[in-house]
């Protein structure tokens, strides 16, 4: 098969970010289990009766199909999986996860371990019984750094230990700041939310 005929069918994924493109389309940044972060052109997705419009929603599991060999592929189909409900604070934490993935992972470099950690973090954030999301966020940050090759040369801590959370948060924040060279936008919002 030539590169021109590349077709991907039913890849598990999530929408990380969508931005307008032309009058009726979107460029959708997706995180997939087997293909990593991919940019997809969702043609006609902004039209009122588009089948893609209600499906391309952040934090919901999707099955995505696309074709093409350019940097931005053409989305050919998207189907939604089970709905995951997030409240306001959990939603901000989930946006933080999305920003980390977008900024730390190279395009089209698969990281199944990071994908599984992302999915587990979203499940923890959607848990209505959870008192705090800090453990889920720290676990994801830790696994993202480890799986993406930025290495954490220490044994995995107990993320459920509320007493260790502030020190762990500070250590992970310092490492992320060094890698990103600029603060994450959602981090300040999360810090502001923690005051209330």
Question: What residues make up the domain containing 174?
Answer: 88-194
Residue 162: its pLDDT value, please?
72
- 65 and 99 in a common domain: no
The residue out of 80, 99, 117 marking a domain boundary is 80
Q: Give pairs for 45-54: CB < 8 Å, separation 24+.
A: 45/75, 46/20, 50/24, 52/78, 54/80
Please tell me the distance from the alpha carbon of residue 152 to that of residue 141, in angstroms, as a whole number: 11
> Closest by alpha carbon to 131, among 172, 98, 162?
162
166's tokens = 């502030």
Residue 195: its pLDDT value, please?
54
- 188 and 150 in a common domain: yes
Which CATH number belongs to the domain containing residue 166 in this structure?
A: 1.20.1440.120
Work out the average pLDDT over 29-40: 96
Give residues with Cβ within 8 angstroms of 151, minimum separation 6.
145
pLDDT band, residue 2 (cuts 50/70/90): very low
- 106 and 40 in a common domain: no
- 94 and 74 in a common domain: no
- 97 and 139 in a common domain: yes
- 116 and 143 in a common domain: yes
- Total domain count, the chain: 2
Considering the entire predicted model, what is its pTM?
0.84
- 131 and 189 in a common domain: yes
Q: pLDDT for 113-158, tens place per residue?
A: 999 999 999 999 999 887 778 888 989 998 998 888 776 677 777 7
Residue 189: its pLDDT value, please?
57
Number of residues that make up the chain: 196
122's tokens = 């979203």
The residue out of 80, 101, 118 marking a domain boundary is 80
- 104 and 12 in a common domain: no
Which CATH number belongs to the domain containing residue 35 in this structure?
A: 2.40.50.140
pLDDT band, residue 56 (cuts 50/70/90): very high
Q: pLDDT for 148-191, tens place per residue?
A: 877 667 777 777 777 777 777 777 777 777 777 655 655 555 55
- 106 and 62 in a common domain: no
């Amino acid at each position: 098969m030539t590169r021109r005929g590349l077709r991907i069918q039913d890849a598990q994924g999530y929408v990380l970010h969508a931005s307008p493109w032309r009058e009726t389309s979107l460029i959708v940044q997706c995180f997939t289990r087997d293909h990593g972060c991919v940019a997809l052109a969702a043609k006609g997705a902004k039209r009122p009766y588009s089948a893609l419009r209600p499906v391309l929603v952040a934090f919901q599991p999707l099955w995505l199909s696309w074709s093409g060999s350019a940097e931005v592929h053409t989305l050919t189909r998207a189907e939604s999986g089970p709905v995951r409900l997030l409240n306001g604070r959990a939603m901000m934490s989930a946006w933080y996860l999305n920003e980390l993935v977008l900024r730390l992972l190279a395009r089209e470099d698969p990281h199944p371990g990071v994908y599984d950690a992302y999915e587990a973090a979203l499940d923890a954030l959607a848990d209505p019984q959870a008192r705090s999301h800090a453990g889920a966020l720290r676990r994801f940050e830790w696994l993202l750094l480890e799986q993406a090759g930025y290495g954490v040369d220490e044994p995995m801590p107990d993320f459920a230990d509320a007493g260790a959370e502030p020190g762990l948060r500070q250590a992970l924040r310092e490492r992320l700041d060094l890698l990103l060279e600029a603060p994450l936008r959602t981090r300040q919002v999360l810090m502001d939310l923690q005051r209330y």
